[in-house]
């Protein structure tokens, strides 16, 4: 079975035989797969009237467990956005009735962001839709192959995920 990356690599080997283009065989496929995954995610989220950033915030709260609330700082850590961006996102989600702001009982000046019932339902439905899309993307691989691929990708991504900002 040949794919677009095979054709791209063959062309570079023909045009630039002096270069080792082997990294393209892996990373160009990862890049193309990321685009397909992004498209599948957008489809899954739009079916539930959510933007990707909304899904990220809602599912961060959902994963926190009952009572499904986090401080804005905790949300920043999980979603990797600036505080100004997070404030804007919380405002927009609150206007849609998907989250609510509550006073933080342990900090008089602080607030907590809590998922509403509607927000939890939308997050759950969108997650189910996303998983269906992702299962379709992985359908050609056996369970063992999926496990092996997950292990290999973890090996590549873990060093980036464990870098301390500095």
Q: Encode pLDDT of 24-58 as tens digits.
A: 999 999 999 999 999 999 998 999 999 999 999 99
CA 98 to CA 51: how far, in whole Å?
13
Q: Which of 60, 69, 47, 65 is nearest to 116 (CA)?
A: 69
Q: Are strands 107-115 and 69-70 parallel, antiparallel or unpaired?
A: antiparallel
Mean pLDDT score, 61-76: 93
- How many angstroms separate the Cα of 143 from the Cα of each of 25, 124, 136, 146? 23, 24, 13, 5
Give every CB contact of residue 136 below 8 A, 6+ residues apart in sequence: 40
Q: How far is CA 73 from the centre of its chain?
A: 19
Tell me, what's the pLDDT at 79? Answer: 85
Q: Which of 137, 160, 162, 135 is nearest to 29 (CA)?
A: 137
Q: Are strands 99-104 and 69-70 parallel, antiparallel or unpaired?
A: unpaired
pLDDT at 161 over 60: yes
Flag whether the pTM goes above 0.85: no
Sheet containing 99-104: which strands, arranged edge to edge?
A: 69-70, 107-115, 99-104
CA 164 to CA 166: how far, in whole Å?
6
- How many angstroms separate the Cα of 64 from the Cα of each of 114, 117, 144, 161? 10, 14, 30, 20
Mean pLDDT score, 76-95: 90
pLDDT at 166 over 80: no
- How many angstroms separate the Cα of 8 from the Cα of each of 15, 22, 32, 77, 135? 11, 11, 12, 38, 27
């Amino acid at each position: 079975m040949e794919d677009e990356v095979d054709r791209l690599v063959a062309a570079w080997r023909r045009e630039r035989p002096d270069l080792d283009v082997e990294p393209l065989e892996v990373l160009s496929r990862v890049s193309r797969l990321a685009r397909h995954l992004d498209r599948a995610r957008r489809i899954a989220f739009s079916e539930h009237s959510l933007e990707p950033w909304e899904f990220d915030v809602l599912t961060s709260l959902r994963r926190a467990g009952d009572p499904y609330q986090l401080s804005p700082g905790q949300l920043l850590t999980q979603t990797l956005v600036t505080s100004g961006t997070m404030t804007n996102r919380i405002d927009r989600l609150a206007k849609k009735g998907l989250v609510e702001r509550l006073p933080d009982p342990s900090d008089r000046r602080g607030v907590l962001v809590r998922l509403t019932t509607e927000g939890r339902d939308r997050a759950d439905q969108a997650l189910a839709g996303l998983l269906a899309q992702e299962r379709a993307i992985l359908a050609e691989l056996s369970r063992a192959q999926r496990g092996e691929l997950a292990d290999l990708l973890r090996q590549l991504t873990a060093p980036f995920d464990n870098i301390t900002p500095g």
